[in-house]
Amino acid sequence: MRYDYDAIVVGAGLAGLAAAAEIADKGKKALLLDQEPEASLGGQAWWSFGGLFLVDSPEQRRLGVRDSRELALQDWLGSASFDREDEDYWGRKWAEAYIDFAAGEKRAWLHAMGVRFFPVVGWAERGGYLAEGHGNSVPRFHIVWGTGPAIVAPFERRVREHMRSGLVAYKPRHRVDHLIREQGAVIGVSGSVLAASAAARGEASSREAIGSFEYRAQAVLVTSGGIGANHELVRANWPSRLGVPPGRMLSGVPAHVDGRMLGIAEAAGGRIVNRDRMWHYTEGIKNWNSVWANHGIRILPGPSSLWLDAKGQRLPAPNFPGFDTLGTLETLRRTGYDYSWFILTQKIIEKEFALSGSEQNPDLTNKSVRQVLSRVLPGPTAPVQAFLDKGEDFVVADNLAELVAGMNRLTGEELLSLEEIERQVRARDREMDNAFTKDLQITALRGARQYKGDKFIRVAKPHKLLEAKNGPLIAVRLHIVSRKTLGGLQTDLSGRVLGADGEAIPGLYAAGEASGFGGGGMHGYRALEGTFLGGCLFSGRTAGRAAADELG
């Protein structure tokens, strides 16, 4: 049989770039296809904050953090809660392999490509349960210096070098509609050539078809992402354990993250597992300067804001900002409302509010030491201030009565009682009179400041919300933001897609979010953050190398 290429990679996001680079590194010819214009090369990773999960890194050690592979695996397994003998078999193996990677060569591999890290390690998904429960026991969220664009750059550079040498052909605006399967093996792809588009990165592009294509190869790698922007599909797969799916969500990813290729791979015999596992954020705000439709930005909060449901009732422990994303989502879905509230002070927003995304952190993205140092100056960062000034979800007031009135005006539902909210805020403030307390959130934020990174730049000094010197008061309406697919095409440890019989489908591989970041769901039920970009890199590298080795 005549092949056009040795391998075809479907999807030019981070996993696809990593896979294509590895295939070409071994001297094999790869075709990289993507339905979006070239402006979107790198996919979702470009928009990310650039957080990577590393274990026992020099950055951790310099901050006095003692981490180990054993502790990281304990945290991962406690969060994943693998409980499906069949569907979780390969996901668990991928999880163990990924922990080895994160505690081993991951940092050196990236460092050799020029990736550098911000010196302060973030502490995401803090958990709040027992030692073997969900959450990171220590800070592990390493921010790439240059954020998302800087993690995309070395892989784009490698791919473009191979393009110049003739080992990689990149064809944007090529939408794969079918996987070609003959005699049980996947031997190519066919689809539609889409009209040229001037859409900027992240913007919706035309779906007008102006032609067709068919290419054949010995290996096809699906690296097309998940379902995050397809809210209909998100709701269809929504698990009952998280309550009723929200009627309204913001989109944390561009419209092209639609899940099309998952269905196409399944039609070709691939097995999709853990469809009901997904990762959505509860601290979303509507972007005042949207790039894509219904564009949501996630607040990366410190632990001090008071979290209330839509009726003004404080969320129970450990549903504190930054502790348990899906646990808080489950709690909020039981309220019957699609939004909740933060109440905080000017002092808290100045020190604790960061916004997810490369475009929301120009200082880190542009690698400006001067701008980063300006974060210690009074006042919020410029992007946060822009949301205070222009965002539709913020209320600022000099006293609690004005704040609650403004919150009710914003929703038009008159659900909030000043008397109820004032009672809860004053009760919380009374707990600040001593160095000890029964309020677990206050215990947690005081504990956080034992970590140097949190004390210096992340967690505000504990204070009373109603003391005028800490004001003005700020309320933020929070929405659910759709984001990641934790399940996907089941793969073995080589990235080969498995069929319903558990056997590998010859010629078919998957990586990145399309494979649940490895194995059909290496995160299990919950993620530890910094593991999505890293999962794309690890699974893309693994599948690319395995496919190239299989080609001989």
Residues above pLDDT 70, as percent of the chain:
100
Give how far Cα 244 sits from Cα of 240, 318, 336, Å. 7, 21, 8
Is pLDDT at 552 greater than 90 in this prediction?
no
DSSP letter, residue 199: P
CB 445 within 8 A of CB 303: yes
Is pLDDT at 379 greater than 90 in this prediction?
no
What confidence score (pLDDT) does residue 377 get? 81
Tell me the average pLDDT across 420-425: 98
Torsion from C-alpha of 39, 43, 47, 52, nearest 10 degrees = -140
Q: What is the pLDDT of residues 29-67, one digit of tens each?
A: 999 999 999 999 999 999 999 999 999 999 999 999 999
Give the SS3 label for residue 133.
coil
Alpha-carbon 485 to chain mean position? 10
| pLDDT confidence tier of residue 198, bands split at 50, 70 and 90 | very high
What confidence score (pLDDT) does residue 130 get? 96
φ, ψ of residue 87 to 5 degrees: the values are -65, -30
Tell me the average pLDDT across 440-447: 96
Is pLDDT at 375 greater than 90 in this prediction?
no
Give how far Cα 114 sits from Cα of 101, 178, 413, 547, Å. 18, 37, 52, 26
Tell me the average pLDDT across 187-198: 98
Q: How far apart are CA 395 and CA 540, in angstroms?
A: 43
Q: What is the mean pLDDT of the chain?
A: 97
Q: How far apart are CA 548 and CA 22, in angstroms?
A: 8
Locus of tokens 């590998």: 504
Q: What is the pLDDT of residues 72-84, one digit of tens each?
A: 999 999 999 999 9
pTM above 0.75, yes or no: yes
Task: Using only the alpha carbons of the chain, give its radius of gyration.
Answer: 23
Q: What is the pLDDT of residues 99-157, one digit of tens each?
A: 999 999 999 999 999 999 999 999 999 999 999 999 999 999 999 999 999 999 999 99
3-state secondary structure 385-438: HHHHHHCCCEEEECCHHHHHHHHHHHHCCCCCCHHHHHHHHHHHHHHHHCCCCC
Is pLDDT at 1 greater than 80 in this prediction?
no
CB 251 within 8 A of CB 295: yes
DSSP letter, residue 316: P
Is pLDDT at 529 greater than 80 in this prediction?
yes
Q: What is the pLDDT of residues 220-270, one digit of tens each?
A: 999 999 999 999 999 999 999 999 999 999 999 999 999 999 999 999 999
Least Cα distance to 270 among 56, 121, 461, 491 occurs for 491
What confidence score (pLDDT) does residue 79 get? 98
What confidence score (pLDDT) does residue 26 get? 98
